[in-house]
Homo-oligomer: A and B are copies of this chain.
Amino acid sequence: MIKVGIIGSTGYAGAEIVRLIQGHKEAEVVWYGSRSYIDENYSNIYGNFFELVDAKCMDDNMDELAKKADVIFTATPQGLCASLVNEDILSKTRIIDLSADFRLKDVSVYEKWYKIEHKAPQYIEEAVYGLCEINRDKVKNARIVANPGCYTTCSILTAYPLIKEGLIDTDTLIVDALSGVSGAGRGAKVANLYCEVNESAKPYGVASHRHTPEIEEQLSYAAGKEMVINFTPHLVPMNRGILATEYASLTMKDGSLPTKEDIRAAYEKYYKNEKFIRLLPDGVYPETRWVEGSNFVDIGFKIDERTKRVIMMGTIDNLVKGAAGQAVQNMNIMFGLDETMGLSMVPLFP
């Protein structure tokens, strides 16, 4: 049994890790870290675990935790993981960090967008960006996996094959995305109260959201050149789900535009064997309800011949493939398990 420690286990992403590990036959949680609820019964905080989890919340003593856990998930605000990690810890355990601390390779970009000093820049280089479908091989032996953001996972995977295959003009990519409210976390803020969010939709972080450089960095690797994009997140009234609608101009090849068969072939080239990516049939577009509670990424697309653009659309459950599910998927890869172990949930509908 893999012994799992969680720092930040009472946030939404942390609790989702707990849910997934409950259904994982080769792993068990040995440390429910939660600075806010130390010594409280975990199931007092999350009533769904009543009679399922019999444990008290612990602090975030990573040194202590490193002795007990084979892997530590840090589902914490930016900066915490970087402030705690050190060589001694990494000699005893492995870390899957759900914050942004190790996602960006350029520390100055991190410090500019997140407006905090990076406390452990020496580990940035070795940390592996844990977008499983793309970096699977590097994840295997990583000591630190930077688990991707929710918007980024969806945005990158939806466009990746077309960029990789040169089918779209990388200067034209626009990502317009919607998110359910759990992405905003469990902090007590007026802006996230039921009545503030319900019956409304709003853009936020316009041209300034922190997931922008993360998407750009990864897509730039795919493009083989630097990409700059527009990314606009919107908050919509639902618990879970991300929908990314992406626009790009198609590139001409030999005087003609790519066909829908070309586009589909590109997606299949990269995702044909991916168990968590479902390429939808022509004319079918993703809806967040069809992935809720699961680790799936659903992708569809449409060519608009009038404007010579392709519209790419992808959906994930932000707490699963966008956070806890991908973290468990990374754990499976790191420990040599079947990548889908504990992640075979059918999406819950309605």
Contacts and interface: CB of A to CB of B under 8 A. Distances in A.
A46 interface: yes
A309 B230 contact: yes
A52 to B, nearest CB: 6
B200 A198 contact: no
Q: How many copies does the complex hold?
A: 4
Interface in A199-229: 199-204, 206-207, 228-229
A19 B236 contact: no
Contacts of A348: 19, 48, 293, 348
Interface string A269-311: 0000000001010001111111111100010001110110101
Contacts of A285: 202-204, 206
A189 B306 CA distance: 31
Interface stretch (A63-71, A130-138, A178-186, A328-336): A178-186
Contact of A48 (B19, B178, B290): B290
Given A245-B232, A290-B48, A199 B239 contact: yes
Contacts of A289: 47-48, 196, 199-200, 202
A151 to B, nearest CB: 14
Given A48-B349, A50-B290, A189-B188, A237 B206 contact: no
Given A178-B201, A181-B194, A202-B285, 15 more contacts: A23-B345, A48-B290, A52-B346, A176-B245, A188-B190, A196-B350, A199-B288, A200-B238, A200-B288, A201-B288, A206-B311, A207-B303, A236-B236, A236-B237, A348-B348
List of 6 A-B pairs having minimum Cβ-Cβ separation, nearest first: A200-B289, A195-B350, A48-B347, A47-B290, A202-B287, A207-B304
